Amino acid sequence: MISKSPSIDVVYTQLSKYILLAQDYTEVPELSFIIKGCRLKPYEFLFVKRVQANRLYYNWVDEYGNSLQINDKKLLITYNDLSIDRNRLVCTDLYYGFSFSNVIKMSKLSYLSIGKDEDLYKESFLLTFLGLDNYLRSYMYLYGEWQQVSPLLLGIKNLQLLAHQTDIKYFKQLKKLNKNLLPCQGKQEWLTMLPVSESFLDVLKNECETLLPYFEEGK
């Protein structure tokens, strides 16, 4: 992802009917949210450079080298899809690489997955922000380092959940934990509006002080 393009909204205008066709075919009402939020495009659109009228596209690719396939109406994610030429992927996020505090300020919702890694003593996090522009931005903290990652790491169930929580008031802890790609035990998951409430800052003080400064700065 060495080059950037500001044309993602134009791309989705071109792809709008193909996105709706895929959503109708799968009968997954959140698919449009997932495709756009994760910046997915049809493989053929990216690498064959043609779009066929009324064509159902079964393979959608993100900007991190992962793919979402439609298989018998089911959604399947292939992480680190080796069939994708990463040299031809383009980052369309004008805010890629922005600091946490700036990302939080330009977002309206956050999903937090907090836990211990396999060593049981190191903290690990998977954070996703839904921007005011309705795009998702995800970050993983492992072994003392942050990296920006694909929102597809949340998994389909969590992405579907986010699609229905865009107008959340305050915050809530998720009791039913859906699978994501954060390798940890003792996991807790939260959804919160942004900017966060003082009550949620109190939760972070008690549950995860490591994250507290980021959300305080982003208020």
When the pLDDT of each residue in the chain is averaged and rounded to a whole number, the result is 89
| pLDDT more than 70, % of the chain | 91
Over range 80-101, report the average pLDDT.
Answer: 90
| pLDDT > 60? residue 111 | yes
* Residues in Cβ contact with 194 at an 8 Å cutoff, skipping those fewer than 6 apart: 104, 107, 108, 109, 110, 129, 218
Over range 26-32, report the average pLDDT.
Answer: 97
* Contact between 18 and 42 (Cβ < 8 Å): yes
Q: Is the pTM of this model over 0.85?
A: yes
* pLDDT given at position 88: 86
Please give the full DSSP string across 33-61, using - where no structure is assigned: HHHHHTT-EEHHHHHT----TTPPP-EEE
Residue-wise pLDDT for 122-178, tens only, equals 788 999 999 999 999 999 998 888 999 999 999 999 999 999 999 998 999 998 777
* Contact between 95 and 115 (Cβ < 8 Å): no
Distance CA 161, CA 109 (A): 12
Residue holding tokens 């389909």?
A: 156
Q: What is the DSSP letter of 152?
A: G
* pLDDT given at position 130: 97
Band (pLDDT 50/70/90 cuts) for residue 118 is low
* pLDDT given at position 192: 97
Three-state SS for 150? coil
Over range 83-101, report the average pLDDT.
Answer: 89
Residue 183, CB-side half-sphere exposure with 13 Å CA sphere? 6
